[in-house]
Amino acid sequence: MDADSNDPSYAGTLRAALTESLVAEGAIRDARIADAFRAVPRHLFVPQVPVELAYTDDVVLMKRDGSGIAISSVSQPTVVALMLGQADVQPGHRVLEIGSGGYNAALLSELTGPDGAVTTIDIDQEVTARAWRGLEAAGYPAVRVRQADGEFGCPEHAPYDRIVVTVTAWDIAPAWVQQLAPGGRIVVPLRMRSQTRSTAFDLVGAAESGTSLESRSMTVCGFVSMQGEGAGDERFVSLHGGRVKLSFDEDQAGQPLPPERVLDRRPVTQWSGVLMNREEPLSDLDLWLASTLPGFCVLVAEQRAVEKGLVSPVPRWGASAAASASSLGYLTARPTADPDHVELGVIAHGPDARAMARSFAGEVRYWKENQRDGAGPTVRIYPATFSPAALPAGFRLRKRHHQVVVSWPE
């Protein structure tokens, strides 16, 4: 095609094609969200990239910190679409977006319509200035753009029917709950045991009896990490000179750690007999393992570590693992006679490897037999002051402001 990147009809054609592919893949299931995607000119929010790239289903990186870590981006359209589906924004809603880029705020503005209001805040003044310019250029001057630490929400325009957080959060900030209107919903990429899930939480219960939030949907995603007062402390433990790393959460500070060269110990492999379709996500199993395995962590390996035979290949985002003071085990898979399926197993190293591999693989089997085809877990959030005796059964995580309970169906 003889394309002129300044030609709005060319951008419109690319936009329509991207929208159709998001609908076809199931990322967009609501006609109003599809209309919003067809309407908002994403290329005006990422002017530094060619228009074709603006309409590719990919994140556009906007800024790195001094050590090269991504700190700001315009999110991947698939993730944006899934989160908008979770948010279920209605005409007339008042919405707060935490983490600006302009693009998602414009989509939110399409969904709230002229009777609603969208406020977007970012901790970084450079980002808010850019978002504001994009929103002006794209025809959304009514969106309010503010520079602020999202940990404190934006009390000026509260209450909100929806709060959409577009940065990985380690905890739910108390301000978000306080600024939520009755019947409101928070959609937030919440990190639990080094795994991030965009989770839609509805407000349940009255403030006086200890307001709580209950999950309605979850989808695995990746976002840049929250900065400022609410920043979490993801702890990486290096093994073998940093070629392999174990990721732990802030509340696992006292976790016993295996020796630095634990992977030199002879491995024990235990196959589980559990087959997975190659396309089937492991996210529910990962959360099950996080809920049940002592010393749960996520093992991330450099390609060199795989090539040197230190570890079996693990996904780019890491494999579920369990650590003890002497041993380390992690999830693996092997091909089966059916090219569409793999069998899950566990590789463990260290003096407790055999017992660790057996109990780890046992949890994989238990999940398959009791949870795989079930409704999946529900996550509930309670204030830190809420009596532990009154919490529902489930896997409990202590965050700074809240207690998180992950409950699995019986």
Our finding on whether 127 is near ligand SAM (CB under 6 A) is: yes
Segment interacting with ligand SAM (CB under 6 A) among 98-106, 237-245, 323-331, 382-390: 98-106
19, 86, 109, 166: residue in contact with ligand SAM (rule CB under 6 A): 166
C-alpha span between 343 and 274 (Å, rounded): 6
Our finding on whether 101 is near ligand SAM (CB under 6 A) is: yes
Minimum distance from residue 188 beta carbon to ligand SAM (Å):
12
**Nearest to ligand SAM of 80, 203 (CB atom):** 80
- Residue 262 has phi, psi (to 5 degrees) of -60, -30
11, 37, 75, 349: residue in contact with ligand SAM (rule CB under 6 A): 75
- What does 296-347 look like in DSSP terms, one character per residue? EEEEEE-HHHHHTTSS----TT-EEEEE-SS-EEEEEEEE-SSTTEEEEEEE
Our finding on whether 196 is near ligand SAM (CB under 6 A) is: no
Segment interacting with ligand SAM (CB under 6 A) among 219-227, 267-275, 353-361, 366-374: 219-227
Query: 């990962």: which residue's tokens?
Result: 286
- CB-based closest residue to ligand SAM: 101
For 7, 43, 51, 264, 280, the CA distances from 2, given in Å and listed in that order, are 11, 18, 13, 58, 40
Longest Cα pair distance anywhere in the chain, in angstroms? 68
88, 110, 149, 286: residue in contact with ligand SAM (rule CB under 6 A): 149
Residues 6+ positions from 68 with CB-CB distance below 8 Å: none
Specify burial of residue 62 (Cβ count, 10 A radius: 0-12, 13-18, 19+): buried
230, 267, 295, 329: residue in contact with ligand SAM (rule CB under 6 A): 230
Minimum distance from residue 282 beta carbon to ligand SAM (Å):
24
Minimum distance from residue 222 beta carbon to ligand SAM (Å):
10
> Quick check: is 272 catalytic?
no
Please tell me what DSSP assigns to residue 155.
G
Minimum distance from residue 166 beta carbon to ligand SAM (Å):
4
Segment interacting with ligand SAM (CB under 6 A) among 65-73, 268-276, 306-314, 393-401: 65-73
Distance in angstroms between the alpha carbons of the first and the last residue of the chain: 57
C-alpha span between 361 and 321 (Å, rounded): 11
C-alpha span between 286 and 364 (Å, rounded): 9
Our finding on whether 367 is near ligand SAM (CB under 6 A) is: no
Our finding on whether 188 is near ligand SAM (CB under 6 A) is: no
Q: What is the CA radius of gyration of the chain?
A: 22
Catalytic residue among 72, 75, 212, 215: 75
Query: Rule CB under 6 A: which residues touch ligand SAM?
Result: 71-75, 97-104, 121-124, 127, 149-151, 166-167, 223-224, 226-228, 230
Which residues belong to the active site?
Answer: 75
